[in-house]
Chains A and B, each alone.
Chain A
């Protein structure tokens, strides 16, 4: 009972809250103290409304006292990436464009967290509009890797991963379009799950690339990740891409020791760092030692994944971000002129460099004369990649790779080279293109920086991914690792 509250898992906190005498207020007060001590160094949160948090905590304590607790997350704080709408809270997407926006509505996942009794705890920094792999594209602040403050935390859910690794909060929501949950999870030594496309409603998630985006749980342990996933996943009539109640049954986990694990051919080559390769190889050997069948699988179109992703994602983004024009909400340029000038200037002032770059790229690949060569070909390539992954996952249960080829880099190191940064996502992108669930789990260190490995499964095989994670976690005990700050 002597461990500080900020080091405990969500599951443990839930148990202690249920058992008493721990109250949600005491927990939140402790985390607010931690926030004041640590957040300045890490830069994970962009906003924390302490009064609102404590009011939620008090309401939770009242519920629990009255015997009306809502489950294992009752009174447990969950921090939220700043692209997920919470009524009355900022919804900035870490962009100047939305710096002043306060959401007038709740995302579906916010409804779900309230229904689970969780405390909606603060807003987390991110790459602007989720575009980036280092959180350096935030227009609000930098976020630093708690394991090495000179390094990036990954991105775009860098604030989420850093908050967990820094012990600022036990649970966090991220969003993942090409790796934005799993890549920062890997860099910060936490667990991040991108669910099957359609498992969690996107209603209230600010769209980057609608056909790729998924909200997902991030935590310091597999158990916590699962706890949060269960709270979030439910049918929602407000998102037509979200599975209906009848179509969302997860495949049973089965015995993790009997998993068939596929290793994509050549995946440990391609620019993978030596220590990353060693850590991931050790993970493979661990599973083999547990009785899992390890085999090599072919994914011939793997090289197409990055270009395909960047065509599809930027095309959708160029359209999704069209609505930010200074007319209805968000930043409006003080320069008057015609409506066209007003919109153009507002957008030019409101968006950062990476967002502009991707809007230009997406506009190009959809434009007359080029759409067939780029966008339509990318859709065909996406079909092919998806078919190859589904075929591979018919012969094995999961595919195992590193999450990211190399550990977190130094802040500013790759800022000038967007293409280099796009290649960070080489292992995580295919799961988004194919709509598959994928998880990143910590598996060691490269120096003092965490390394993660990545499991991809067939649609709705989240339970298998989590079971595989629990097996690994039980043997490696990463769940209570936290950066010393």
Chain B
């Protein structure tokens, strides 16, 4: 008897390796960054020369603690480093400095949002628990050349935060949502840049399945070194299907380490449990235990930005934004803060401002070359506001002019385009272009009276007075014409009704 896939539940845990945003390496003063010639970012400590010693980078520790605070973990009083011993040509000391027993982050949770039924509908929210996160060092890079391999140690020693979840994820969609949420948290707090193109975020993915309703976890496999969110999603889908197939065929799951071939969308076995490494962990004698002061924690707590979903809820509840707009704004902290600055400058119409930001501003930023390179194509809207020509207060000014009836919505589009080009204030553009609606009642009254007196419109006046509301519009055209389109349509309407009374 065969069962349907829905009889099975998949259980996923992730280990996410994130390169922290620092200038120097984790345990050495060597700089690091993308795009340098091989082995140009290597000092004696990174190369593991005899006699060299590690010293922990304060910024790497503080970025790690900041992450802990972002996910609501309790920051431990102390943390310490251990050695993980294994031989590999990309591992300069043949041991990696990591944290086994006393990690810098313990506990915490990440809120995720699953896709809704449509773009306009918010999906389900869940909390994924963080088991711990530890601060360790990255290894160098191997490339293959002919019959040999080449080693570049530029990446060796780069600070890595390994974030380990509880096995709380239940689908590929949840794994994907978790990673999107995690990337947003990390980038918004300035902990990491998470540029997957540059390998700044890599994942190990643990997958097991069990009969729905069963408590006992199934045997899990670990797929290593996934370097994009889509690879994680595809791995989960692949591994789930494979494990169901195995179990339904009466075979068992082997606890094994696997790799993922993204080109072929296929997993493969790296090694089974029998070959498991004996890492011979022990406390690193070169790095004393670090006491984390409560002052530091308090100082870092102030740097924790508002959680993106708290922000999203606030935008919907306090600003009355539709979910679609709110969800676009909150993913990028810079964008959200830009929006809030504009909304603060013109508090009566946040929806109007959100509309401008999510439609016109994002469109023009994306279209203009100066919009900045995509941070990560998979996660964030491809914008950077660093070079945005419009200031939040300027957009607020534009929306206010429209709301006050000084310019029409149509004119506002023209003003926005000019503002994006020149960075001028809305009012200055309106004046320079002579776009200001005429709201001088005295002058307008005279014109309205002149038009009403024109026999050419007598028929329309009669129809209006007979009860045909729409007939009044026939009088507006000539008025607009005589004011060269500058008259405030609202005012014209009021005056006409007054005189035709």
Contact = CB atoms under 8 A, between A and B. Distances in A.
The answer to whether A and B touch in the complex, with CB atoms under 8 Å apart, is: yes
Interface stretch (B50-58, B389-397, B435-443): B50-58
A91 B51 contact: yes
A212 to B, nearest CB: 8
Contacts of A327: 89, 151
Interface string B279-316: 01110011110000000000000000000000000000
Interface string A194-227: 0000000011111101110000000000000000
B485 interface: no
B121 interface: no
A240 B51 contact: no
Interface stretch (B90-98, B166-174, B362-370, B447-455): B90-98
Given A240-B56, A316-B285, A363-B280, A323 B51 contact: no
Contacts of B56: 240
Most buried by A among B52, B54, B95: B52
Contacts of A169: none
A332 to B, nearest CB: 12
B153 to A, nearest CB: 8
B47 interface: yes
Given A240-B288, A327-B151, A84 B51 contact: yes
A205 B51 contact: yes
A328 B53 contact: no
A77 to B, nearest CB: 22
Nearest to A129: B50
Given A240-B56, A325-B87, A315 B282 contact: yes
B149 interface: yes
Given A206-B50, A316-B285, A367 B87 contact: no
Nearest to B147: A336
Given A104-B44, A107-B51, A371-B282, A241 B288 contact: yes
B50 A85 contact: yes
Nearest to A203: B53
A79 B482 CA distance: 102
Interface string B52-66: 111110000000000
Contacts of B87: 322, 325, 340, 343
A323 B93 contact: yes
A91 B94 contact: no
B329 to A, nearest CB: 44
B85 A91 contact: no
B50 to A, nearest CB: 4
Nearest to A97: B50
B31 interface: no
Interface in A352-393: 363, 366-368, 371, 375
A241 B286 contact: yes
A240 B55 contact: yes
B278 interface: yes
Contact of A339 (B48, B52, B89, B278): B89
Contacts of A171: none
Contacts of A449: none
A240 B53 contact: yes
Contacts of A238: 53, 55
B464 to A, nearest CB: 88
A319 B282 contact: yes
B282 A375 contact: yes
B72 to A, nearest CB: 30
Contact of B149 (A83, A98, A339, A368): A339
A105 B29 CA distance: 14
A319 B280 contact: yes
Contacts of A105: 44, 49, 52
Contact of B50 (A91, A325, A371): A91
A322 B94 contact: yes
Contacts of A84: 51
A323 B288 contact: no
A239 B285 contact: no
Contacts of A101: 50
Contacts of B49: 85, 103-105, 329
Contacts of B54: 240
A93 interface: yes
Contacts of A93: 50
B17 interface: no
A366 B44 CA distance: 27
A397 B157 CA distance: 44
Contact of B94 (A237, A239, A323): A323
Contacts of B280: 318-319, 363, 366-368, 371
Contacts of A329: 47, 49
B155 interface: no
A141 to B, nearest CB: 20
B24 to A, nearest CB: 13
B83 interface: yes
Contacts of B281: 366
Nearest to A379: B283
Contacts of A315: 282
A214 to B, nearest CB: 13
A371 B50 CA distance: 26
Nearest to B88: A339
Contacts of A323: 48, 50, 92-94
A122 to B, nearest CB: 18
Interface string A312-353: 000110110011110111000000000110010000000000
A328 B282 contact: no
B135 to A, nearest CB: 14
A237 B57 CA distance: 11
Nearest to B284: A210
Nearest to B90: A327
Contacts of B151: 327
A187 B153 CA distance: 45
Interface of A: 83-85, 91, 93, 98, 101, 103-105, 107, 202-207, 209-211, 237-241, 315-316, 318-319, 322-325, 327-329, 339-340, 343, 363, 366-368, 371, 375
19 contacts: A83-B50, A85-B51, A98-B50, A103-B49, A105-B49, A105-B52, A202-B51, A206-B50, A207-B286, A238-B53, A316-B285, A319-B85, A322-B94, A328-B47, A339-B88, A343-B87, A363-B280, A366-B85, A371-B282
Nearest first, the 4 A-B pairs at minimum CB distance are: A322-B94, A211-B285, A210-B285, A366-B280
Given A84-B51, A203-B51, A207-B51, 13 more contacts: A85-B50, A98-B50, A202-B51, A202-B53, A207-B50, A239-B55, A240-B56, A316-B282, A319-B282, A322-B95, A323-B50, A325-B87, A339-B149
